[in-house]
Amino acid sequence: MHQAVKRQQRSRKDERLEARVTPDQKRLIERAAELRGSTVTDFVVVSAQQAAADTIRDFETLVLRDQARDVFINAILNPLLPNDAARAAAQRYKTEMGL
């Protein structure tokens, strides 16, 4: 059984989601749920949960290619020394924070 479904079965379901769909969308979702051997509710919840996890992963993952990757790696491995403005900002921060 899919991990998300197992987790749902163990946790208490107090929250509710509602959605209005067209008749065609409803038939499509019902057919897909039937093919998976699940209820429409379980199908929609598991599908929405997976889409949410995928979306979050896509937005939280940095993917760099070619030159951008090389520039990033070089900056991490060979950081520039702070300039006068950065040193001044750090000093202001320390002063304001009482450090």
Q: What is the pLDDT of residue 1?
A: 52
The model carries a pTM of: 0.57
Domain extent listing, the chain: 3-9+17-60, 66-97
Residue 6 has pLDDT above 80, yes or no: no
In the chain, which ranges are E strands?
Answer: none
Query: Token digits for 87?
Result: 């040193």
pLDDT confidence of residue 11 = 77
Q: Find, among 49, 36, 44, the residue nearest to 4 by Cα.
A: 49
- Is pLDDT of 88 > 70? yes
In this prediction, residue 80 carries a pLDDT of 93
Place of tokens 């067209």: 22
Q: What is the pLDDT of residue 62?
A: 87
- Model pLDDT for residues 7-58, shown as the tens digit of each residue: 656 778 889 999 999 999 999 999 999 999 999 999 999 999 999 999 999 9
Angle between helices 40-60 and 23-36 (to 10 degrees): 90
CA distance 80 to 82: 6
Burial of residue 68 (CB within 10 Å: 0-12, 13-18, 19+) is: exposed
Grouping H, G, I as helix, E, B as strand and the rest as coil, residue 78 is coil
